[in-house]
Chain A
């Protein structure tokens, strides 16, 4: 299994809602990532988990809360989002052995619309 699976594929939420994005991989990867991508822009790194511990937070607002329950799962909890948070949210994983040049395996993303 060489896939990263993200659910849901599409999500529409109001500014007062609480929702969660889910990501799963069964490749034995130990590093998992959340990226945010707006139309015609590059993916922007949000969070990195390495061996189930948060290792990078790129100064993301607290209305985004990541969680890594185990080495195969990664969640992104959303609360009180703004319309400008509408974007494609991508999950990725890599071996996590610390070797330079590790390639990322991306999921298909969750297209989020905040009304």
Chain B
């Protein structure tokens, strides 16, 4: 079967530490992968996109890696803050050339950063 797995439903870390979230997929060949943040009762907000030919992408305190051999993306938040507490979703279009808009989401990892 085809699926996207985010291996931790919840992750709790102390302020200042680095949070690492994992997204694994099976039976897909995505050309790129996206990460979104979702706060309770709100819609997801786009954070980063990484393409299959990019090993790493950075934006401020965020870093994403993409390993198409392992079929895995890692999402890192360095120097984490309580304001980073939210659910983080990975998303992908399953195949190169897939119809525009068929973006599939993982279940998400709920991150809690405590002071």
Contact = CB atoms under 8 A, between A and B. Distances in A.
Interface of A: 4, 31, 33, 40-45, 48, 50, 55-56, 88, 90-92, 94, 96, 98, 100-109, 111
Contact of A42 (B43, B51, B89, B101): B89
B100 A43 contact: no
Interface stretch (B13-21, B63-71, B78-86, B105-113): B105-113
B49 A50 contact: no
Closest 8 CB pairs of A and B: A106-B43, A42-B105, A48-B101, A103-B46, A101-B32, A90-B43, A42-B107, A43-B105
A56 B44 contact: no
Contacts of A94: 100-101
B49 A103 contact: yes
B103 interface: yes
Contacts, number: 72
Q: Is the interface of B mostly helix, strand, loop or mixed?
A: loop
A50 B31 CA distance: 21
Contacts of B31: 100-101
Interface of B: 4, 9, 31-32, 34, 36, 41-46, 49, 51, 89, 93, 96, 99-108
B42 A31 contact: no
Nearest to B87: A40
A111 B93 CA distance: 26
Nearest to A10: B41
- Most central of A4, A50, A101, A107 by chain B CB within 10 Å: A101
